[in-house]
């Protein structure tokens, strides 16, 4: 089966800056694929390589088996939802959505009908006569989505599509995008710096750093079994444990990661030496609603623990004992 999008050692260098550096990547047809990474990690450049706004300096890219190098954006069956939506301010919503069909020479009645359908798909029926300036951020986002989908692209690219929306709207849009993707069966490639968004929506996630892919896998893979310190730290702010610490508990001299929610925090009993647990001091508590995040100092090692709300907490500065299940301690591939 041919991949929807395939990178073979694709690079995009800007002078001495290696925005994308020898990336190998295969995205399956119908997949919801997330590119996750901090800003400047090369994820957006990867998206622009697929869209055709950038050309690889070396390596090759193919879209559904067709070589994409040298093919301009307007000859690719790929559409993009831009971060700032990039709606045309001089056209009304209906003409914005029908734009792709208009430049392809589709008749007015036909393209307006298709645009109306696309607007119903994103739950904005009857908004056609409005100007983009009269819409809220969430509505503009939907118009941008409809404008891309009306062309029936083989791959839909989304560049931080939810970045500008407030929390509540973002959560709704996440669910909606996911169900839309399932219903349409189109390959979605989604760029985000928000690990929660990537984990909750994507079938697979690629974690980017410094123009390279650090790890590709299912959200569970990435979250439970990070391969490097960077992935462990960036995805869900795991506690990264140095090899000497890990050796005491697993017998292996390797870097390890421990999820903050895997750590149990107990009061240090007086006179009892903590044989099992790790003795630490509570530095600060951070109330998050459903949970509380604790910052702990274990003999110079800074650890974070997340405990459910409603549990009696030790006071700040108090000595505590940390315990965890040995199987929750994940050993990483990265050499010590």
Partner 1 sequence: MRSDGSQSAPLGLKIAAACGLLFLHLPILLIFVYAFTTEEKSFVWPPPGLTTQWFAVTWNRPDVWQALSLSVRVAAISTAIALILGTLCSAAVSRTRFFGRETISLLVILPIALPGIITGIALRSAFSLADIPFSFWTIVLGHATFCVVVVYNNAVARFRRTSGSMIEASMDLGADGFQTFRHVVLPNIATALLAGGMLAFALSFDEVIVTTFTAGQQQTLPIWMLEELIRPRQRPVTNVVAMVVMLVTLLPILAAYYLSRDGDQIAGSGK
Q: Is the Cβ of residue 83 or residue 285 nearer to partner 1 in the bound state?
A: 83
- Interface positions, 224-263, toward partner 1 (CB under 8 A): none
Q: Is the Cβ of residue 129 or residue 319 nearer to partner 1 in the bound state?
A: 129
Residue 203 is given by DSSP the state S
Q: Is the Cβ of residue 53 or residue 319 nearer to partner 1 in the bound state?
A: 53
How many residues interact with partner 1 (rule CB under 8 A)? 27
- Interface positions, 61-100, toward partner 1 (CB under 8 A): 72-74, 78-80, 82-84, 86-90, 99-100
Check binding of 149 to partner 1 (CB under 8 A). Answer: no
- For residue 157 the two structure tokens come to 């690219």
Check binding of 161 to partner 1 (CB under 8 A). Answer: no
Q: CB of 122: closest distance to partner 1 in angstroms?
A: 16
* 333-336 own/partner pairs: CB under 8 Å, 24+ apart: 333/227, 333/228, 334/227, 334/228, 334/229, 334/255, 336/243, 336/253, 336/254, 336/255
Residue carrying the six token digits 């990483």: 332
Cβ(197)–Cβ(174) below 8 Å: yes
Q: Is the Cβ of residue 98 or residue 306 nearer to partner 1 in the bound state?
A: 98
Q: CB of 181: closest distance to partner 1 in angstroms?
A: 19
Check binding of 187 to partner 1 (CB under 8 A). Answer: no
Residue carrying the six token digits 């009306």: 150
Q: Is the Cβ of residue 88 or residue 279 nearer to partner 1 in the bound state?
A: 88
Check binding of 152 to partner 1 (CB under 8 A). Answer: no
Q: Is the Cβ of residue 153 or residue 219 nearer to partner 1 in the bound state?
A: 153
**What are residue 163's phi and psi, to 5 degrees?**
-60, -35
Check binding of 139 to partner 1 (CB under 8 A). Answer: no
The binder of partner 1 chosen from 28, 102, 164, 295 (CB under 8 A): 102
Q: CB of 102: closest distance to partner 1 in angstroms?
A: 7
The binder of partner 1 chosen from 112, 147, 204, 254 (CB under 8 A): 147
Check binding of 14 to partner 1 (CB under 8 A). Answer: no
* Residue 16 Cα to chain centre, angstroms: 27
Rounded CA separation 80/188 (Å)? 10
Q: CB of 190: closest distance to partner 1 in angstroms?
A: 16
Helices 137-149/108-121 angle, 10° precision: 130
Check binding of 44 to partner 1 (CB under 8 A). Answer: no
Q: What Cα–Cα distance (Å) separates residue 102 from each residue in 97, 131, 147, 228, 244?
A: 9, 18, 12, 48, 64
- For residue 85 the two structure tokens come to 């939506």
- For residue 52 the two structure tokens come to 């055709």
Q: Is the Cβ of residue 39 or residue 273 nearer to partner 1 in the bound state?
A: 39
H helices of 150-283, where?
Answer: 167-184, 195-201, 219-224, 229-234, 243-250
Cβ(316)–Cβ(231) below 8 Å: no
The binder of partner 1 chosen from 2, 24, 38, 53 (CB under 8 A): 53
Q: Is the Cβ of residue 53 or residue 318 nearer to partner 1 in the bound state?
A: 53
Strand order in the sheet with 256-258: 239-241, 256-258, 330-331
Q: CB of 104: closest distance to partner 1 in angstroms?
A: 6
Q: Give residues in contact with partner 1 (CB under 8 A).
A: 51-53, 72-74, 78-80, 82-84, 86-90, 99-100, 102-104, 131, 133, 147-148, 151
């Amino acid at each position: 089966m041919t991949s929807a999008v395939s990178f073979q050692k694709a690079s995009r260098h800007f002078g001495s800056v290696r925005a994308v550096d020898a990336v190998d990547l295969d995205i399956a047809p119908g997949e919801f694929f997330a590119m996750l990474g901090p800003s400047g990690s090369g994820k957006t450049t990867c998206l622009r390589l697929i869209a055709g706004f950038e050309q690889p300096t070396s390596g090759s890219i193919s879209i559904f088996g067709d070589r994409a190098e040298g093919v301009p954006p307007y000859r690719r069956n790929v559409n993009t939802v831009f971060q700032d939506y990039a709606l045309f301010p001089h056209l009304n919503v209906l003409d914005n959505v029908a734009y792709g069909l208009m430049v392809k020479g589709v008749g007015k009645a036909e393209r307006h009908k298709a645009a109306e359908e696309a607007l119903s798909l994103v739950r904005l029926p009857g908004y056609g006569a409005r100007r983009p300036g009269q819409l809220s951020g969430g509505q503009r986002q939907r118009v941008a989505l409809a404008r891309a989908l009306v062309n029936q692209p083989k791959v839909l690219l989304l560049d931080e599509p939810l970045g500008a929306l407030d929390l509540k709207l973002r959560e709704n849009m996440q669910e909606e995008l996911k169900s839309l993707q399932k219903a349409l069966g189109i390959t979605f490639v989604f760029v985000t710096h928000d690990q929660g968004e990537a984990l909750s929506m994507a079938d697979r996630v690629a974690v980017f750093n410094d123009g390279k892919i650090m790890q590709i896998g299912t959200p569970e893979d990435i979250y439970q079994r990070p391969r490097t310190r960077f992935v462990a730290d960036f995805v869900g702010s795991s506690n990264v444990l140095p090899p000497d610490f890990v050796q005491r508990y697993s017998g292996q001299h390797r870097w390890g990661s421990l999820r903050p929610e895997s750590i149990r925090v107990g009061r240090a009993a007086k006179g009892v030496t903590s044989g099992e647990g790790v003795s630490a001091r509570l530095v600060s508590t951070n109330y998050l609603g459903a949970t509380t995040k604790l910052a702990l100092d274990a003999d110079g090692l800074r650890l974070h623990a997340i405990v459910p709300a409603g549990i009696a907490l030790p006071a700040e500065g108090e000595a505590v004992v940390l315990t965890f299940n040995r199987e929750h301690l994940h050993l990483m591939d990265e050499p010590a």
